[in-house]
Each structure stands twice: as C-alpha cells, then as structure tokens.
Structure 1
C-alpha cells in the first residue's frame, strides 16, 4: 500500500472528481451521502467553523499492489484506511472513502475536512514523512506487498508536478550511474534540462542540502526521493570514484575529501618552504672601540 497526499480549496471539485463512474462509497462519517450535493454542503458547513483556513480539503489516495488483489475487500480497505488516518493524526472530523474500480490496482480516495468537529485545524506538518512511516507499518501489519519503488510507476499517467518530479528523478538517477563526481553529474543533468542548486548552512561553506529544477519548477532532492538527498548522492558518487575535478562554483566536492586535499597541500607547502626559503640577513655588529673612536673624531671636526 502506498499513499498520495493532496490538499485543495474546493470540496465541490474534489467530490465531483471522486464520485465518478465506476466509483463506490464504502465509508462516510459526519456526512449525508444522498448525493454529491449533500456531501459538499455538509463539508462546507463544518468548514465555516474555521473560515480563515484556505486549503481545508484533505484528499488522500491509498493504492495497493496488484499482487494484493485477492486479499482485498471493502472491509479490509476501510480498516487499513482508518488505521492510516489515525497514524496521520487525522481524527474527529468528517471523512468520505470512495473505492474506484477503473484501474488494475485497487485504490480508494479519502476526502476529509481539515477543519475538525471542534473547529480546529488538522495539522499537515511532516505529512509525507508520517505517511511513509504509516504505510510501512500497515504493510507489515496486514501483509500487503511493499512497493518496489518508483521504477514501477506508470509515467504516462502522471501530470503536473508529479510528472516533473519523476522526470527529475529518472534524469538524476541516470546521471549518478554515469558520473564519477559532482561536476560530471551537473553536466549530465544540465544537458537533460535539469539544474541543481546547493543549499549552504548560514555563514559557512558547509553544504546542507540540494534542490533540482526543471521547467521553472523547483523541488528539494529529498522531497523527490530520499535517495536524492545531498548526503545520499554524495555517498553514491564517492562509491564510484573519488575523482575531484571541478570547474564550477559553487559546486564543490564533499567537505571530507576537500579537507584531505587541503592537508596534503599544506604538507607539501611546509616541505617547499623548508627547502627553498631564504634566511633573514642579520646586519654585522660594529666593534665598540671603533665606534667610540669615530664618535670622538666627529666631535673634534665639528669644533
């Protein structure tokens, strides 16, 4: 099981999309399900308890692997979805679960109100991290097949930001396989239309993170995939080759390798200094007696 999290502003648009042909309402809480119109009315009525919240529409898609098809039914989907929502901190609010039958893989759409029954906002902080953790725990609990990653995603069905993210993911992954250092990776992905930018810790040259951009859209590496964080890419590149040829700024090699290079350079500099440095010349000291005679002679001449 995997989850996709979406937020929006219009309950009417979301409900209208979810309640389409080949859909089935399998669970509802705090809503009249007579029609799409009554569902939207109830969502909007509770929304007015906190009118300042713009994106009050919570929308989550839970999808299962085709290998799980024989073990799935409405009860299992509802049970796992409720546990998922609880782990996400989504409680005491209106909720609608709709099952779709238009794909090979089973999936349900969950629409919930981010304004809870008490007029409080349901937090979306760290939502994607919590979702990943929740799915992993529920897959183990129910015996669902764990997703094998982005390789099996149907790229042809992706749109908007998701399409761009996967294009960046595929490009950077190919770049890592074909590059020996950061410069080669940067050149490869730039040729493919992707740019990367480093994020530096304030008032220092220490790299804190990385982001990628394509067609005017910018994403943090870790937001695209955990394997595209700065530390993970650096490990992958250093595992291939430790070549350190860089021609661009601010692109730099890993701080650890630069420290090693600086140590070697410092040692060479010290040896060169010892071999080729010119000693300071100290003026020869004049004999005190000669100095005294010169002083007397100068005094006599002045008289």
Structure 2
C-alpha cells in the first residue's frame, strides 16, 4: 500500500472532489462529524479551525492506495479498519476526519481528510508529513497483510528484468532476420515484432537515440542493453552494409512526422567504429 499526504487550505474543493458521485465514491470512515455533504462537513471543519487563525493550511489530505489485487478484495468494513489504523499510526488522535473510497478505476484508492486543528485549537505538526505518511501506510499494510511499497518495487524490478530481456530478444531477431539498412527499416521491423520504437530528436532535428515501448513499459535503449543505444544500433547496421551505403540510406529520415538527420556525434562514432573493424581485419589478414 502506498500513502501520500500533505497539508492543504482548499478544504471544501478537495472534499467535493472526494465526494464526487460520478467516481462511485463511498464514505468508508468518519470521526466526530454529522454532515451529509462537502459543504456541511467543511463548515464543521471550519468551526474548529477558527480557534487557530494562524494556521492557513489547516486540513490534512491523505491518499491511501492498496495494490491492485489487494484493492479488489477489500470491502467497506476492512477499509474502515485501515483508515482507523492509519489515524492511530499517524498519532492524529481525536480529530474530525472523513474518508471516501474511489472505485472508478481498476486501482482502488482512499481519500482521507483530517482537520489539522484539534478541539483545543492546536495545529498538528506536519513536518515531513509525506515521509511519515508512507511509513504509517507500510505499518498498516503489514498489520493487515497487504502488499507494501517495498514488495511492489521488488515485483516491478523482477518484471522489468523480464521486459528488458524480451525487448532485447526481439531486437536481436530483428537485426538477424530483417537485416535493416536504415533506422526507418529498423523501426518498421521492430514494430512487426510488436515493439514500438520512439525516436529521441533534439531541437536541431537530429536523431539522438531511441526509447522502446512494450507491454506497458517505456524504456530508453541504453537502459535495456548497451547494444541498443542509437549509436550502437547504427554501428551494427553500418558494419553489415558499409559506412557509405549506411550514411546514404540514413541521409534523410522521416520520423515523428518530420525530416530528421543523424547527429554529427553519431555519424563520427559509427564511422570510427567501422574503420577500426576494417583496420583490424586488414592487420589480421
């Protein structure tokens, strides 16, 4: 479960968003409140907040997001317990609070609003509230055996490793079977292999490299494998067809709806690489 928190001043507007019926909002938790709509509840907040005129950001806004699979299993009673446990972990005590759950998207999330001013007129200390909120959310997740941020990060890393390997495999197949002579041909061949190649173009309309989209992931070429940087892809093609034919094929490229050229740095790097190969072969011969 992920937790985010901050202090806000626009209580009524935020609460109105939380209560938006179009998002299938459902009140899952309330404390020391009787109102039935955002206007009434924000007015109840205000009556207490008037005891402390120095505090401007006088409402605490939290978003608690269980993992997708966890969210599918959580019902109102369990969500209420999660909110109560979070309030306890944050040491919020006896304050006005209300929480709504949104189920409008696949990812269930809770909006929790708490009056920063207590019944004695004292403002809650919001120092490092974002970090403390995340720590409290992790403790609650452990308490109710929910997925924590660390688990999500580990899972993402495992998935990312597989995604990188799969994109690299499809790149290798493209280079071996299609034998592209230009970046245009390479992009089309990769698309045939279900990988979208996105050119990275600078302000001077020069090609700098590529990003790769596959299965919901968007990764820079060099993040996948060093052989998949723009320059190294160019070196591999130039090594197969020769520098002159390669540069001729890539003299004028059409990418992202406009004419693009190779960057000077890329041209020099590719040329040097192929020349070194030629010299090395000559010496061996």
TM-score, normalization by structure 1: 0.48
SS class of match (2:93): coil
1:182-215 CA-partner distances (Å, limit 9, x unpaired) = xxxxxxxxxxxxxxxxxxxxxxxxxxxxxxxxxx
CA displacement at 1:49 relative to structure 2: 0.9
- 8 Å Cα contact 2:30/2:99 also seen in 1: yes
Aligned equivalent of 1:61: 63
State whether structure 2 residue 19 is matched by structure 1 residue 15.
Answer: no
Aligned equivalent of 2:36: 34
Aligned equivalent of 1:81: 83
Q: Distance in 1 between matches of 2:222 and 2:124?
A: 39
**Larger Rg computed on CA atoms:** 1
- 8 Å Cα contact 1:88/1:127 also seen in 2: no
- 8 Å Cα contact 2:98/2:114 also seen in 1: yes
Runs ≥4 residues deviating over 6 A: 173-178
Q: Which runs of 5+ in 1 are unaligned?
A: 153-172, 179-303
Q: Distance in 2 between matches of 1:78 and 1:38?
A: 21
In structure 2, the CA distance between the partners of 1:89 and 1:174, relative to structure 1 (3 Å rule), is farther
TM-score, normalization by structure 2: 0.51
Q: Distance in 1 between matches of 2:7 and 2:70?
A: 28
Q: RMSD over aligned Cα, in angstroms? A: 2.8
The one of the two structures with greater contact order (alpha-carbon pairs below 8 A, sep at least 6) is 2
Aligned equivalent of 2:153: 149
1:206-232 CA-partner distances (Å, limit 9, x unpaired) = xxxxxxxxxxxxxxxxxxxxxxxxxxx
1:246-283 CA-partner distances (Å, limit 9, x unpaired) = xxxxxxxxxxxxxxxxxxxxxxxxxxxxxxxxxxxxxx
Q: Which runs of 5+ in 2 are unaligned?
A: 158-218, 225-285
TM alignment of 1:284-295, pairs within 5 A: none
- 8 Å Cα contact 1:6/1:60 also seen in 2: yes
CA displacement at 1:174 relative to structure 2: 7.2
Aligned equivalent of 1:124: 126
Q: Distance in 2 between matches of 1:24 and 1:102?
A: 11
Q: Distance in 2 between matches of 1:120 and 1:174?
A: 49
Q: Distance in 1 between matches of 2:107 and 2:223?
A: 31
TM alignment of 1:64-213, pairs within 5 A: 64-147=66-149, 148-149=152-153
Aligned equivalent of 1:44: 46
CA displacement at 1:36 relative to structure 2: 2.0
